[in-house]
Amino acid sequence: MSQALKSIIRRELKRIFTDRRMVITLFLIPALSIGVIYSVMGYLSMNFIKDVEAHVSSYVISDAPDSFKTFLAQNAELTEGVEVTYVSGETVDTYAPLIKEGSLDMFARFNDDFDSRIESVESASVYTYYNYGEDYSEASFHHFVNDMLDTYRNGILADRFENPNAIKVFDVEDLSETAETVNEDKASGKILSTIIPMLISIFLFAGAMSVVMDSIAGEKERGTLATLLVTPVKREAIAIGKMISHAIIATLSALSSIAGMLLTLGILMLLMPNEVSIGVSFGYSALDILYLIGLIVMLVGIYVGIISLLSAVSKNVKEAGTYMTPVYMLIMVVSFLNMYAFNAEPLWKYAIPIYGQIVGLKEIFMYQITPIKFFVALANAAVTWTVLVLWIRNLFNNEKVIFTSS
């Protein structure tokens, strides 16, 4: 590395790290904001679960047969946290407004002569009404159908047979945990792989965008880039030096955001009750970590190259921001494309710039990455970065482009 290149890198890094506002904006605010957002989301989610569980459900049941009333009286645990009101001859018309406004959770109506139909083995029905737009109402409906009515139905079937076990043809028992057939790391990786690769990609681009636009388009606008270009330093060294320093800063900015997210995730896992689990664990090897760092560096290089290219052809920061908006949207779309794809991707997809690196990030968390896939992604990144560097070098050597400012 030439002395001129080193001096450009030092200049750019010094400009960032000696600016308190930039340090706070690039490294502290993203990590803190993500930590606060995820902490609040986790806190609200846990409170929501507790709130639904603590809610006292209100049922109105019309024409309930004596057998059902007796059943509930004998199984008091099914009515814990539930207020049941029995009425006769009522229809849903009376109670629909109450369900809609949330003051009543559910209305149910049994067939006329329900018990006699059951005794004569005729078809009988229970009509239910609830508001699926209300969480309390939906939870009440599922409790009524899945707990109360299913248990009631099984009791009726048991009465029809001398041997109650005759109604139960067979049991299905999941013994996966005892037989150790589940790959816990891979199961956990499915959760991490749906969101972390997408966030890494977006954080990297956002971190690079804020730094690069100010360093190239901003310096063009202020006139400081023109002063730098007339120095004895080769323009190629200036362009490459800026890109390397921008890549370092963008990587550190993204890592601070990711660290804030992972720290928050760890805190939430500690604060969650023992009976609640989000199914996340970390069992990645040192090689997986190296793959992760490598793919992040690849993405940073490509993103910095794209943003540097657009900033170089822009007259000012505002114009660069205009060019950047559709590119940022495209990066977000590409980042979202494989969020819910859990099968191993074919090798050729790793040859697609940006998409190949994001696929690689996902497969790292899914424990599916292989050396050949990594090196294909590395090759496509190297080719892409070389093309971008050569293009940007030519722009820096083009007087009409690089000295144009607003």
Q: What share of the chain is helix, strand, coil (3-state, %, to 5)?
A: 70, 5, 25
pLDDT at 275: 47
The answer to whether residues 199 and 346 belong to one domain is yes
> What is the C-alpha to C-alpha distance for residues 205 and 211, in angstroms, rounded to an integer?
10
Is residue 48 situated within a structural domain? no
Q: Which two tokens stand for residue 224?
A: 């400081």
pLDDT at 83: 93
Read out DSSP for 201-260?
Answer: HHHHHHHHHHHHIIIIIIHHHHTHHHHHHTSSS-HHHHHHHHHHHHHHHHHHHHHHHHHH
The answer to whether residues 112 and 191 belong to one domain is no
pLDDT at 257: 75
Burial class, 352, CB count within 10 angstroms (exposed 0-12 / middle 13-18 / buried 19+): middle
Is residue 44 situated within a structural domain? no
Point out the residues of the chain with pLDDT beneath 50: 275-276
How many domains are contained in the chain?
A: 2
The CA-to-CA distance between both ends of the chain, in Å, stands at 34
Is residue 108 situated within a structural domain? yes
The answer to whether residues 109 and 217 belong to one domain is no
Which of 389, 233, 204, 372 is closest to 308 using CA atoms?
389
The answer to whether residues 213 and 319 belong to one domain is yes
> What is the C-alpha to C-alpha distance for residues 78 and 130, in angstroms, rounded to an integer?
19
The answer to whether residues 120 and 196 belong to one domain is no
The answer to whether residues 370 and 309 belong to one domain is yes
> What is the C-alpha to C-alpha distance for residues 55 and 206, in angstroms, rounded to an integer?
43
- Cα-based distances in Å from 39 to 30, 195, 266, 275, 364: 14, 16, 10, 19, 26
> What is the C-alpha to C-alpha distance for residues 199 and 176, in angstroms, rounded to an integer?
32
Q: Tens of pLDDT along 196-210? A: 888 888 888 888 888
**End of a domain among 141, 173, 205?**
173
pLDDT at 381: 94
> What is the C-alpha to C-alpha distance for residues 202 and 277, in angstroms, rounded to an integer?
27
Q: Which domain holds residue 161?
A: 56-173
Is residue 126 situated within a structural domain? yes
Q: With contact defined as beta carbons under 8 Å apart, do 360 and 377 qualify? A: yes
Which of 370, 367, 373, 365 is closest to 348 using CA atoms?
373
Is residue 151 situated within a structural domain? yes
The answer to whether residues 211 and 99 belong to one domain is no
Helices (H), 338-370: 355-365
**End of a domain among 140, 173, 206?**
173
Neighbouring CB atoms inside 10 A of 233's CB total: 18
Is residue 46 situated within a structural domain? no
The answer to whether residues 214 and 131 belong to one domain is no
| CATH number of the domain residue 166 falls in | 3.40.1710
Is residue 42 situated within a structural domain? no
Question: Residue 86 forms beta bridges with which residues?
Answer: 61
pLDDT at 109: 94
pLDDT at 259: 77
- Among all chains, which residue has been given the structure tokens 């041997």? 163
The answer to whether residues 278 and 376 belong to one domain is yes
pLDDT at 282: 59
The answer to whether residues 164 and 198 belong to one domain is no
The answer to whether residues 198 and 298 belong to one domain is yes
Is residue 41 situated within a structural domain? no
**DSSP-derived pairing of the beta strands 82-87 and 57-62:** parallel
The answer to whether residues 211 and 352 belong to one domain is yes
Q: Which two tokens stand for residue 389?
A: 């560097």
**End of a domain among 139, 173, 207?**
173
